[in-house]
Amino acid sequence: MSLAINTHIASGDGEVPSKVRIGSTVRFVADGINTSDYWWEIISKPEKSSAYLTNMTSTSTNLVNIDRYGNYGIRLYTDRNTAFQKSRLANILVPNPNNIHVVPPEPLYDSGGRILNFSFELPGLIPGSALMWKIKDDAGLLSNFAGISRGRIVPTNFNITSGRHVMCLGDDVGNTSNYYPDQIFSVSQQVDLTDMRIMTLQIKLIKRT
């Protein structure tokens, strides 16, 4: 058997993985491997969240003090720093009930391997942004048409091989906006490439005069 992580609500309300409620406790349980060496860690959580893990070296751990809307990423290592090391990721979402945007299904990871949200499928808390990605928008390009023709969108002029969404730096249908020297519109993410040999990026560049 291969390493797996089972999740369930230990206390509180909601459903895992994408309908967890504020104030709930989520339990993560390692399965599928025979070892006594476990290490759990939080790899992502919403800004200013005070959530933390208990029993970080046990078969199971609890994510407690879930206090912010957004995405929480948990990683498990077994037999860490040995020749038998294995790793698995788990992800839960605490959706904002006041967010009018429909949360899409779980992301498709096929083109990104174990890089979570590789295909921008999970939306961020503001229109046009994606969970787990950092957006820098000095020019205010997301002030207009965010989530429709720029930022995280379902594109018109781009054929996607995985998922439905892309990150559009510019505008998908030719809308214009003011953009000045030294201003930055960018998207970035820190990723763990351990044991990965290939990472495929799908990019389209359009030159406009």
Q: Are residues 155 and 206 in the same domain?
A: yes
% of the chain residues with pLDDT over 70: 89
Q: End of a domain among 40, 60, 94? A: 94
Domain range for 141 is 100-209
Q: Are residues 135 and 151 in the same domain?
A: yes
Residue 17 and residue 90 in contact, taking contact as beta carbons nearer than 8 Å: yes
Task: Give the chain's mean pLDDT.
Answer: 84
Q: Are residues 58 and 85 in the same domain?
A: yes
Q: Cis peptide leading into 17, omega within 30 of 0?
A: yes
Q: Are residues 90 and 144 in the same domain?
A: no
Burial (CB count within 10 angstroms: exposed 0-12, middle 13-18, buried 19+), residue 15: exposed
Residue 154 and residue 104 in contact, taking contact as beta carbons nearer than 8 Å: no
Q: Is the pLDDT of residue 102 over 70?
A: no
Q: Are residues 46 and 138 in the same domain?
A: no
Q: Are residues 82 and 12 in the same domain?
A: yes
Q: Are residues 107 and 181 in the same domain?
A: yes
Half-sphere exposure of 48 (CA within 13 A, CB side): 2
Going across the sheet that includes 70-78, the strands are 38-44, 70-78, 86-94
Q: End of a domain among 42, 70, 94? A: 94
Residue 92 pairs with which residues in a beta bridge? 72
Q: Are residues 70 and 128 in the same domain?
A: no
User: In Å, how far are 20, 63, 168, 179, 183 from 92, measured between CA atoms?
Assistant: 7, 10, 25, 36, 34
Neighbouring CB atoms inside 10 A of 78's CB total: 21
Q: End of a domain among 94, 127, 161? A: 94
pLDDT tens column, 23-59: 999 999 999 988 999 999 998 888 889 999 999 999 9
**Nearest of 42, 77, 80 to residue 63 by alpha carbon:** 42
Q: Are residues 61 and 148 in the same domain?
A: no
CATH of the domain at 20: 2.60.40.10
Q: Are residues 57 and 106 in the same domain?
A: no
Q: Are residues 127 and 195 in the same domain?
A: yes
Residue 101 tokens read as 């945007």
Q: How many domains does the chain fold into?
A: 2
Q: Is the pLDDT of residue 152 over 80?
A: yes
